[in-house]
Amino acid sequence: MTIKLPAITQVPEESIAPLNPRHQVQVVPRPGRHRRPMTATKTQKDKASKAKKVLLTALTVVVLLGILVTAGYFIKQLIDSKYFFCKSAVKFIPIDQACDGKNDCAGGEDEITCLSTFTVNTTFPVRLTSARHVLQVYNPGQGWRSVCRDDWTEQHTQTACKQLGYTNNPQSSGVTVDKLIPSMKTGPFTAVRPMTGTTPIHEATMDRAVCRSGSVVSLSCSDCGQVGSQDRIIGGTDAFIEDWPWQVSLQVGGNHVCGGSLVSPRWVVTAAHCFSGSKKELSRWRVVSGRTYMSTLGGSYVDRIIMNGNYDAAQNDYDIALMRLSSPITVGVARKPVCLPPKAFGLAAKSTMAVTGWGYLEENGKVSPSLQKASIPLIDQSVCSSPIVYGSAITQRMICAGFMEGKVDACQGDSGGPLVHFTSSRWHLVGVVSWGVGCGRERRPGVYCNVEEMLNWINTVIEKNP
């Protein structure tokens, strides 16, 4: 039987000839070069998912950083409220040991940045007087003299206003002698000597029996006390900082302690009693300005706190202090100084006053979260010092304002804040919230430090601490 074998097909050897015989270019393989692997094209959904993950990661990092920064801020506030850090010795001491008269840090570091006191025993030689803001200069031998407009120049205006403190677009005008208050009509008078524009005004004058020009100088030194528009304190209503831009909050450790009033871009008037106890170390304080709603963030640092050296805590007398900011505030709609009053302002009893602050809304209550205002009348000094009100507790350095039936009043937390009066298109700082019995009680009105009586002290402190 014959077995039929399958036919064997011969496979030709693999040709190394190129597929395209027309191009006889020899291809030399290059080591390390490989064909890129095939990958599937990313869909739009995949791209969105990856972007979402990146965004979530970024947000998480931001949130964590925010938490850390916030925690760090509050931890620092807590530490600062309890301890003073001695940089030279690199140690903490209890805050009560700072500014206690003893050197607890190396080199007395804890006794350097402290509150100071200042007592005036001289007369500041330049002032404005009466509701017409008449310029007067002082001579130890002859007392106060009104300055005639004779030979007065714009440079004299600049010089006089610079002596008086906050200056912005100073202007002068004339008031005829016959329109002065009776006690000023007959002098004494003085006038500047020619070519004395840059000489301090009180040194640039000579006596005159009468003013040749028939008028005296009236000064407007700045834009103080002007607001863009025109009552909670006890019985008050909500307010906006733009209407009371001189109002500031004085804070320690992020807590509101007292109110205050800007009287220049760098100086704040407040009450001396705000610095009782362990509140004498400067670095603890912040001055928050330009806010309607109470805020603990930000604020200006303080490099001077000067308390009136005659302050009597037992009698609440001379209850005034000045704080100097480390750097001036930027004057604007929500931050602007109030005007200091002229001497002999002549406010009559029942003149309308305004008091502002974040103090308690009721006796033994809570601090208000938003600024409050109240309109109250000035009370005659004889009434306030009568036996049925405060009696002999009222001194010449105090004024009273409010209603004898109570209800509307300043309260705790308003201390140091402004009592202001509006006249001649400007607000003037008449008083500083000082003390009272309770809040809004019958026959117990608010008592304020009389700013007019403190002008000599205020002007002297500011001049000596430029």
Structure confidence by residue, pLDDT tens digits, 381-401:
999 999 999 999 999 999 999
Burial class (CB in 10 A: 0-12, 13-18, 19+), 383: middle
Chain position carrying tokens 């070069």: 33
User: Would you tell me which CATH number, out of the four given (3.40.50.2300, 2.60.40.420, 2.40.10.10, 3.40.50.720), belongs to the domain 237-464?
Assistant: 2.40.10.10
Answer yes or no: same fold for 126-220 and 237-464.
no
Q: What's the fold here for domain 126-220? A: Mac-2 Binding Protein (3.10.250)
400 touches 198 (CB < 8 A): no
Partner residues linked to 252 by β-bridges = 255, 285
Average confidence (pLDDT) over 83-100: 72
Q: Looking at the chain, how many residues does it have?
A: 466
Q: What is the mean pLDDT of the chain?
A: 85
Burial class (CB in 10 A: 0-12, 13-18, 19+), 381: middle
Computed on alpha carbons and rounded to an integer, the radius of gyration of the chain in Å comes to 37
Six token digits for residue 253: 């450790």
- Cα distance between residue 268 and residue 260, in whole Å: 6
Catalytic residue positions?
273, 319, 415
Q: Is the pTM of this model over 0.95?
A: no
Bond prior to 188 in cis (omega within 30° of 0): yes
350-382 pLDDT tens trace:
999 999 999 877 777 777 889 999 999 999 999
Query: Of 289, 299, 298, 294, nearest to 247 (Cα)?
Result: 289
Q: Residues 409, 411, 416, CA angle at the centre, nearest 5°?
A: 105
Six token digits for residue 329: 């505030």
- Cα distance between residue 264 and residue 57, in whole Å: 48
DSSP secondary structure letter of residue 110: G
443 phi and psi, to 5 degrees?
Answer: 55, 25
- Domain positions in the chain are 74-111, 126-220, 237-464
**pLDDT interval class at 416 (50, 70, 90):** very high
Instruction: Identify which has the larger pLDDT, 461 or 13.
Output: 461
pLDDT at 31 over 60: no
228-253 pLDDT tens trace:
754 445 566 788 999 999 999 999 98
3-state secondary structure of 59: helix
Q: What count of other Cβ atoms lies within 10 Å of the Cβ of residue 200? A: 15
263 touches 416 (CB < 8 A): no
